[in-house]
A and B are shown apart, each in its own frame.
Chain A
Amino acid sequence: MSASPIATTRTTAGMPTGRLAVWWVIASEIVIFGGLLGSYIMFRLSHDAFAEHAAHTNTWIGAINTLVLLTSSLFAVLGHKAADAGDGPKAAKFLYLTALGGVIFAGIKFGYEWPHEIALGYTISSNTFWSFYYTAAGIHAAHVVAGVIIMLIIAPRAKRNFDLHRVELIGLYWHFVDVVWIFLFPLLYIAK
C-alpha cells in the first residue's frame, strides 16, 4: 500500500480529512436526491391521479424495509463505538451485520416487492407515479448496494485493526442512506 501524502494527515479545519470528504459526498447526494424528490413532490401536488396510483404500493413491505434499515443503522453505530474503542474484530462483526441489513433490504425489494409489482403491470413506464417510484427507489437501492460493497471491503481490514477510522466513515454514509429512505417511505408508501 502506498503511503498517503502529508496533505492527507493535516487537519487545519479541525476535522480528519476522511470525515470531511464523506460529508462532502453526503452533501452532493442530498442535492441529487433533493432534486429528484422535489420534482416528485411538484408532480404529486399538481396531479391528483398520483394518489390513486400510489395506493398500490405495499405499505407493509415498505415498513418492514424501514425496520431493516433502521436496525442496520443501529449496528453501524455499535460498530463505530467498537472501532473508537480500538476493538477491530467487534467493529468488523457489527459491520457485517449492517451489511446483512442492506442485503436483506435489497433482497426484499428486488426479490419480492418489485417482481410482484411488475407482474401486476406496474412498470416504470406505466405512468409518471411509477416512473418516479422505480427511479427514486432504484437510485436509493443502488446506494444501499454500494454501501454494502464498501462495508465488505472495510470489514476484513478492520478485523485486523487496520484503518479503524473507516468504520465511522462508512457508518456516516450508511446513516445518510437511511435518512433518504426515511423521506422516501412516507412519500411513496404512506401518502395515499
Chain B
Amino acid sequence: MATAPVSHPDPHGHGHHQPGFVEKYLWSTDHKMIAMQYMFTGMAMALIGGFFAYTFRMQIAFPGVDVPGFGLVAANEYNQLITSHGAIMIFWVAMPVLIAAFGNFLIPLMIGCDDMVFPKLNRLSYQIFLLSVVVLIASFFVTGGAFAGAWTMYPPLSTKAEYGLAPLGATLFVVAVALEFVAFLMGGINFVTTAMNSRAPGMRMYDIPIVIWMIVVASILFMASVGPLIAGAIMMLFDQNLGTAFFNPDKGGDPILWQHLFWFFGHPEVYVVLLPAVGIVAEIITVMSRKKMFAYRTVLYTTFGTGVLSFMVWAHHQFIAGIDPRMANIFTITTLLISIPIAEMMFVFIATLYGGSITLNTPMLWALSFIATFLIGGVTGIFLGASGADIYLHDTYFVLAHFHYTFFPIAIIGTFAGVTFWFPKMFGRMMNETLGKIHFWGTIIAFNCIFIPLFVLGAAGQHRRIFDYSMFPQLMRPELRHIDQFATVSLLLMLSFQVVFLYNFAHSLFRGPKAPKNPWDSNTLEWTADSPPPHGNWPVLPTVYRGPYEYSTPGRDKDFWPQDEQH
C-alpha cells in the first residue's frame, strides 16, 4: 500500500469528459451524491409527513371542520393519516437522513478515503429505497386507499380483508416497509465495511470520530434486529394474500407473534436512529466548545451497552397486550436499567461543556437543544417502563408525548444540527446565521408548546388514534379541548417557521457566501477537503496522526489540532 495513496485520477475510464446531468445526479456512484439523494428524498418525505400531522391535528382541535388544503378528516382518513405519518417519519425521514445521508456523506470523508467500498451497491441501495417510497405513495391511490391500521400493523386488523377497508393498501404498505429494510441492509454493508476496513493510515479504533462509530453501531443494531421482522413481513404478506394463518387465530395462528417480531425490531430501531443523532451532536459540541470529548471511551462503552440492552426490552410495548403477566416483570427491569447507560451518555455530553469556550451559533443551538429536549423524552420513558404505571398510561397521549420528545430531537433537531453544521462542506457555501437562529427559536419554542400539554392530556386519559373525542364525556371537558387546540395552534406556528429554513437552505445553496475549507476550525478529516469535495475527495488521501478531539491542547498556539497535521 502506498504511503500517500492518490485517489484514482480516472476511475471510470472516461478520459477528460464531464459527466452529463443523468450520470452526475441520477446515476452516480459517488457517496456524496448518493447522500444528497437520500437527504433530499428524506426531506421531501418530511414535508409529506408534516402535512399529514397538520391535517389530523386540525381535526382534533376543530372536529368535523374541513381542514384547509385537505378537506374533511373523518374516521377512516384520520386512521390513514396517523398510520402514514408515523411510518413516514421513522422509515422515510429519520432513517434516510440520519443514517443514509449523513452516513454516506461523512464516513469516507471522516475516515480519509475516496468513496464507499462498494459504490455500485451503494447506488442500488438508494434505488431500492426510492422504490419503497414509490410503493408507499402508490398505496395512497389504490382501491380502498392507504392502509389505516397504525404503523405497527397489528393483525388480524392488518391481515384479514374483511376487518379493514384497504386490503391492497395494506399489502403495499408491508411491501414498502420490507423494501426499505432491504435498502438499509444493503447500505449497512457499505457503512460497516468501509468504516472498518478503509480508514486512513494511522487512524486507530479510538481515533475514529464518534459519529462514525455511532453510524456503524446503528447499522449493526439494525441488521441484528430487522431479520425476524423481515420474516414476519413475509408471513404477513402471505396471510394477506395466500390464505395462510400465521397470525389469524381462527385457523391456529397467533396475533401476538407479530407483536413480538415487530417490537423485537421496533425497540432497537429507536436506538438505530438515536445513535447517529447523538453522534452528530457529539461532533458539534466538541467543535463549538473547543473541548475534547469527555471520556471518549465511556461514550463508546455506553453505546455498546445500550446496544446490547436494547435487545432485551422490547415487550415493554406489550405489557398489557395479553402476554404472560410474569414476563412483564423481566421487561420492566430491563427497561429501567437501560435508562442508566443513556443517562450516562447524556451526563458525559454535558460534562464536555465544562471548561469550554462555547460559541452559540446555529449548529450549536441545535446540538444543545437536542440534549435539553431528549432529557425530557428519556425521563418520561420511565413512567412507561414502570409496568404498574403503564397499565394506565398505555395507548394514551402520554406515550405519544414521550416518543415525540425522543423522536423529534432525533429526527428533526438532529437533522437541523447536522445540516447547518455540514452545509458548508456539502455545498461549498455558508447558510445565513440570522435566519438560522430565527428558525431555531421558532421551532424549539413551538415544539415544546405542542408536546408538553400532551403529557397532561395523556394523564387525563386521552387515548391515541381517536379522531373525535365527542363520545367520551370525560374528555370533553373544556380545559382538555382547549389544550388540544393550543397544541394544534403551536403546530401551525412550528410549521410556519420551517419556511424560514427552506428559504435559508435554498437561498444559501445558490447565493450563500462561499465557504472556506474549515469554517468551524474543526479537527476532523472532512474539513481538510475542498468545500464541496471533488470526486475522489482529495488528490492525495490523508494520513492520520492523532484522535479527532485535540482541542485546546496545552502548549499549542492554535486551539485545534487537525488529525492529518503531522506537527
Which A residues are within 8 Å of any B CB, using their own CB?
Answer: 2-13, 15, 17, 20-21, 24-25, 27-36, 38-39, 42-43, 47, 49, 124-125, 127-128, 131-132, 135, 139
- Chain A residues lying within 8 Å of B115, measured Cβ to Cβ, are 5, 7
Q: Which of B142-150, B220-228, B317-325, B519-527 contacts A (4 or more CB under 8 A)?
A: B220-228
Partner of B234, one of A7, A10, A135: A135
Separation in Å of the A51 CB from the closest CB of chain B? 14
State A99–B253 Cα separation when bound (angstroms): 37
State A127–B193 Cα separation when bound (angstroms): 42
Counted as pairs of residues, one from A and one from B, with CB atoms less than 8 Å apart, the total is 146
Question: Smallest CB-CB separation from A36: which chain B residue?
Answer: B231
Mask: chain B, 212-224; 1 = CB below 8 Å from A; 0 = not:
0000000000011
- Chain B residues lying within 8 Å of A36, measured Cβ to Cβ, are 228, 231, 234-235
**A5-B119 in contact (CB<8A):** yes
**CB-CB under 8 A for A30 and B116, given A35-B232, A127-B251, A128-B245:** no
**A34-B193 in contact (CB<8A):** no
**B244-A131 in contact (CB<8A):** yes
**A128-B113 in contact (CB<8A):** no
Q: Which of B52-60, B196-204, B373-381, B399-407 contacts A (4 or more CB under 8 A)?
A: B196-204
State A43–B203 Cα separation when bound (angstroms): 49
Question: Can you list 12 A-B pairs, Cβ within 8 angstroms, ordered by A?
Answer: A3-B13, A4-B117, A5-B117, A7-B113, A7-B117, A11-B197, A17-B193, A17-B197, A24-B188, A31-B225, A31-B227, A128-B253
**A5-B227 in contact (CB<8A):** no
Question: Smallest CB-CB separation from A23: which chain B residue?
Answer: B193
**B193-A5 in contact (CB<8A):** no
- Chain B residues lying within 8 Å of A27, measured Cβ to Cβ, are 223-224
**B257-A42 in contact (CB<8A):** yes
State A17–B190 Cα separation when bound (angstroms): 10
**CB-CB under 8 A for A7 and B11, given A33-B227, A127-B252, A128-B246:** no
Separation in Å of the A68 CB from the closest CB of chain B? 25
**A34-B251 in contact (CB<8A):** no
Q: Is B328 part of the contact surface with A, judged by Cβ < 8 Å?
A: no
**B244-A125 in contact (CB<8A):** yes
Separation in Å of the A47 CB from the closest CB of chain B? 6
Question: Smallest CB-CB separation from A15: which chain B residue?
Answer: B197
Mask: chain B, 1-25; 1 = CB below 8 Å from A; 0 = not:
1000101100111000000000000
Among A8, A17, A38, A49, find the residue whose CB has the most chain B CB atoms closer than 10 A: A8
**CB-CB under 8 A for A10 and B227, given A3-B11, A24-B193, A131-B246:** no
State A25–B113 Cα separation when bound (angstroms): 23
State A49–B414 Cα separation when bound (angstroms): 51
Query: How many residues of chain B get a CB closer than 8 Å to chain A's CBs?
Result: 53
**CB-CB under 8 A for A20 and B193, given A5-B11, A6-B7, A31-B226:** yes
**A8-B117 in contact (CB<8A):** yes
- Chain A residues lying within 8 Å of B39, measured Cβ to Cβ, are none
- Chain B residues lying within 8 Å of A132, measured Cβ to Cβ, are 246
**B230-A35 in contact (CB<8A):** yes
Separation in Å of the A131 CB from the closest CB of chain B? 4
- Chain B residues lying within 8 Å of A12, measured Cβ to Cβ, are 196-199, 203
Among A6, A8, A128, find the residue whose CB has the most chain B CB atoms closer than 10 A: A6
Give chain A's interface secondary structure class. Answer: helix
State A128–B242 Cα separation when bound (angstroms): 12
- Chain A residues lying within 8 Å of B193, measured Cβ to Cβ, are 17, 20-21, 24
State A166–B196 Cα separation when bound (angstroms): 20
- Chain B residues lying within 8 Å of A25, measured Cβ to Cβ, are 189
Question: Smallest CB-CB separation from B258: which chain A residue?
Answer: A39
Partner of A6, one of B189, B228, B541: B541
- Chain B residues lying within 8 Å of A32, measured Cβ to Cβ, are 227-228, 230-231
**A2-B228 in contact (CB<8A):** no
- Chain B residues lying within 8 Å of A47, measured Cβ to Cβ, are 252
Q: Is B238 part of the contact surface with A, judged by Cβ < 8 Å?
A: yes
- Chain B residues lying within 8 Å of A3, measured Cβ to Cβ, are 8, 11, 13
**A35-B261 in contact (CB<8A):** yes
Q: Is B114 part of the contact surface with A, judged by Cβ < 8 Å?
A: yes
**A139-B234 in contact (CB<8A):** yes
**CB-CB under 8 A for A124 and B185, given A7-B194, A39-B231:** no
**A5-B7 in contact (CB<8A):** yes
Q: Is B118 part of the contact surface with A, judged by Cβ < 8 Å?
A: yes
- Chain A residues lying within 8 Å of B8, measured Cβ to Cβ, are 3, 5-6
- Chain A residues lying within 8 Å of B188, measured Cβ to Cβ, are 24, 28
State A47–B246 Cα separation when bound (angstroms): 13
- Chain A residues lying within 8 Å of B252, measured Cβ to Cβ, are 47, 49, 127-128
Question: Smallest CB-CB separation from A35: which chain B residue?
Answer: B228
- Chain B residues lying within 8 Å of A17, measured Cβ to Cβ, are 117, 193, 197-198
Q: A7-B113, A31-B223 are in contact. List 13 more A-B contacts (CB 8 A).
A: A5-B116, A5-B117, A6-B7, A7-B194, A10-B197, A17-B117, A21-B118, A28-B223, A31-B227, A32-B227, A36-B235, A42-B257, A128-B251
Separation in Å of the B278 CB from the closest CB of chain A? 23
- Chain A residues lying within 8 Å of B458, measured Cβ to Cβ, are none
State A17–B193 Cα separation when bound (angstroms): 6
Question: Smallest CB-CB separation from B223: which chain A residue?
Answer: A28
Q: Which 8 A-B pairs have the closest CB atoms?
A: A35-B228, A31-B227, A125-B243, A36-B231, A5-B115, A32-B227, A131-B244, A7-B198
- Chain A residues lying within 8 Å of B119, measured Cβ to Cβ, are 4-5
**B198-A2 in contact (CB<8A):** no
**B185-A6 in contact (CB<8A):** no
State A127–B250 Cα separation when bound (angstroms): 11
Question: Smallest CB-CB separation from B188: which chain A residue?
Answer: A24
State A72–B539 Cα separation when bound (angstroms): 47
Q: Is B108 part of the contact surface with A, judged by Cβ < 8 Å?
A: yes
State A47–B249 Cα separation when bound (angstroms): 12
Separation in Å of the B497 CB from the closest CB of chain A? 40
State A9–B115 Cα separation when bound (angstroms): 11
State A124–B240 Cα separation when bound (angstroms): 13
Among A5, A20, A33, find the residue whose CB has the most chain B CB atoms closer than 10 A: A5
Separation in Å of the B535 CB from the closest CB of chain A? 10
State A11–B201 Cα separation when bound (angstroms): 10
State A131–B245 Cα separation when bound (angstroms): 8
**CB-CB under 8 A for A31 and B228, given A6-B8, A25-B189, A128-B253:** yes
State A4–B197 Cα separation when bound (angstroms): 14
**B108-A135 in contact (CB<8A):** no
Question: Smallest CB-CB separation from B203: which chain A residue?
Answer: A12
- Chain A residues lying within 8 Å of B229, measured Cβ to Cβ, are 35
Q: Is B192 part of the contact surface with A, judged by Cβ < 8 Å?
A: yes
Among B114, B117, B119, find the residue whose CB has the most chain A CB atoms closer than 10 A: B117
Q: Is B254 part of the contact surface with A, judged by Cβ < 8 Å?
A: yes
State A33–B478 Cα separation when bound (angstroms): 53
Partner of A125, one of B198, B234, B245, B254: B245
**A7-B116 in contact (CB<8A):** yes
**B185-A28 in contact (CB<8A):** yes
